[in-house]
Amino acid sequence: MPHRPRIPSPGRRTVLRGSLLVPAAALPAAASSAPALALAGRPEAAWGVQVGSVTASSALVWVRSDRPARMLVETSATESFRRARSWYGPLIGPGGDFTGTTPLYGLPAGEQVHYRVTLADPGDPRRTGKPVYGTFRTAPARRRDGVRFLWSGDIAGQGWGINPDIGGYRVYEEMRRLDPDFFLCSGDTVYADGPLQPSVTLPDGRIWRNVMTEEKAKVAETLDEYRGNFRYNLLDRNFRRFNAQVPSVVQWDDHEVRNNWYPGQILDDARYTEKNVDILAARSARAFHEYFPVSTPHGSARRSRMYRAVHHGPLLDVFVLDMRSHRNRNSPNRQADDTTGILGAEQLRWLKRALAESRAVWKVIAADMPLGLVVPDGATDFEAVAQGDPGAPLGRELQIAELLRFIKHRKVTGTLWLTADVHYTSAQHYAPERAAFKDFAPFWEFVSGPLAAGGFPANALDGTFGPDRVFVRAPDRANVSPMESPQFYGEVEIDGDSADLTVRLRAEGGAVLFTKVLRPGRTGQ
């Protein structure tokens, strides 16, 4: 990612004196440590519910308890829960930070499903907590039903957390009211390396106030600190209401661990006592899978694997990439031979095979980093694919060139790229007639974000794949707060009759900034 100005981290005592520190009694559940094993009362699920891994017939329901509990789920076609179907879920305990998921199967395609989660005392099943309710739509089985989803990323970054003075994460309520089929979160779901301060003075003299927790007062290093970062966003009521209505497809990037990290990195950062980024990444990946309803891909024995395909009916497949865990080290990125690249050889093989096998009309490649935008890492290294050299592919560009060539020669149609990461919104069209590398079919890349983080100026373009920036909306200075600049998210709608795909780039407040209609089976549109 681009360099983000560091906001100094307050000391522990400063945080504990902060006026917006959330005391344990006021949290949906204990935020900074595992609940005690002997608590009075009944199990509570005040952190809300989430649903992910939604297909035409299945879904994965998530909840967190405040103590050991048995997870029970009921589903129904109506809010009255007449003729409800019951699902006996797992025993939730301290090993998973009191989080749990229950898979649902045999659901009707293309229908609204209402569900409620009840937590029961493991020693006395009659002692149950108050049910928590949610709803979602299963993926359609018929093409004519159409699909509509939102995407964005970058949450609680650059020192801007939950601000109660402005209503918290307001953009989530706005997105909820659009009632999409699902939400694609394109990474930087948390900023585990971005401590918050109780207050920040803005350039115009206004004061930004952050809700504080102990884990957000320092960089995350331990498993519990990473867990606390994923819990933080759940303190926001808008966020929980959104989760209860909109299924999620979640990927990760760097700030779930540490800015601009890569495998094998040894940190030179005085804030960290643990310098081995692989250890930090493993802890974060465990917390990530505890706090999001993400299924392990079929055939994968590795619970931490992030890349996967999401099939959402005959019109849409989403290919969720992991451009973080398998990359080579950040460097000047000008090597003439690079088989590892930003995806790793194994993920690239999987992506080629999955794209070639897809029968969906549209194939969204969900990338956690942009392709043609130059994202530096310090003075000489680069963080994403591009490095600013407009000539023939070098470094990580070689792997992308191989993928684009494969898509062209295998006649894979209907691809487009969606991403976040750079904290503004834009649309780039890539075409071989403008490019140094010409063996590919034209395609679009759309960028949106942040959702609750600092805004940044637009990045430079790299000419290797011939990008034309058709639209951009970005601040004119670095780290503009959400009180000074709107947050951004994107909308994709596929018409069930024509299969036309419409992309809308939206700003918080409801404005549609840019619209592009793509038609199936065409290139260079």
Give the mean model confidence (pLDDT) for residues 459-477.
Answer: 98
Q: What is the pLDDT of residues 328-357, one digit of tens each?
A: 999 999 999 999 999 999 999 999 999 999
Q: Is the pLDDT of residue 19 over 70?
A: no
Q: Does domain 143-518 have CATH number 3.60.21.70?
A: yes
Residue 310 burial (CB count, 10 A) = 20
Q: What is the pLDDT of residues 152-208, one digit of tens each?
A: 999 999 999 999 999 999 999 999 999 999 999 999 999 999 999 999 999 999 999
- pLDDT-derived band at 95 (thresholds 50, 70, 90) equals very high
Q: Where are the domains of the chain?
A: 42-137, 143-518
Q: What are phi and psi of 489, to 5 degrees?
A: -150, 160
Structure token digits, residue 115: 């569900």
Residue 38 burial (CB count, 10 A) = 7
- pLDDT-derived band at 295 (thresholds 50, 70, 90) equals confident
Structure token digits, residue 143: 């093409």
Q: Is the pLDDT of residue 85 over 80?
A: yes
Q: Does residue 8 have a cis bond before it (omega within 30 degrees)?
A: no
List, in order, residues 6 or more apart from 175 with CB less than 8 Å away.
150, 183, 242, 246, 489
How far apart, in whole angstroms, are the C-alpha atoms of residue 88 and residue 167?
A: 37
Fill in the amino acid letter for 426.
S
Q: Which CATH number fits domain 42-137: 2.40.50.140, 3.40.50.300, 2.60.40.380, 3.40.50.720?
A: 2.60.40.380
287: left (phi over 0), alpha (psi -120 to 50) or beta: alpha
Structure token digits, residue 256: 């779930």
How far apart, in whole angstroms, are the C-alpha atoms of residue 506 and residue 421?
A: 16
- pLDDT-derived band at 282 (thresholds 50, 70, 90) equals very high
521: left (phi over 0), alpha (psi -120 to 50) or beta: left
List, in order, residues 6 or more apart from 299 with CB less than 8 Å away.
none
Residue labelled with tokens 């009840």: 118
pTM score of the predicted model: 0.92
CB 119 within 8 A of CB 70: yes
List, in order, residues 6 or more apart from 427 with CB less than 8 Å away.
444, 445, 446, 447, 469, 470, 471, 472, 503, 505, 514, 516
